[in-house]
Amino acid sequence: MSFQAYLDAIENRTGKTPRALVQEAERRGYAEAGVKAGVIVDWLKNDYGLGRGHAMALVHVIKNGPRISAKHVGSTGTHRDAGDTLWLDGQATRPA
């Protein structure tokens, strides 16, 4: 599953765009440098019912922004994506 597919699944499960969840994480202070991934994973599990894989995809975005490594772009691996920037504003607004 690509990183973008994880974010799309998160939106489908929570009803919130990835950007809305990132903003919520920022308000809670989870984007700060010292916050461990486990804290964010627990929040996403408890409040939204997300599993570890989906939560970790969002942790990446919360901690690093929407850019992903070029090694995942156009590759044939499990986490391949079409581009190096993830779309955070919801599936309905993603350019074709």
Q: Where are the domains of the chain?
A: 3-79
Averaged confidence pLDDT in the chain: 89
pTM: 0.86
Task: Name every residue whose Cβ is closer than 8 Å to that of residue 86 and which is 6 or more positions away in sequence.
Answer: 3, 4, 7, 18, 61, 66, 67, 68
pLDDT score for 79: 57
Q: Is 65 left (phi over 0), alpha (psi -120 to 50) or beta?
A: left
**Which residues are registered as beta bridge partners of 81?**
73
pLDDT score for 72: 60
pLDDT band at residue 81 using 50, 70 and 90 as cut-offs: low
pLDDT digits (tens, 9 = 90+) for 6-52: 999 999 999 999 999 999 999 999 999 999 999 999 999 999 999 99
User: CB of 25 within 8 A of CB of 90?
Assistant: no
On the question of pLDDT at 82 being above 80, the answer is no
Tokens of 17: 């765009």
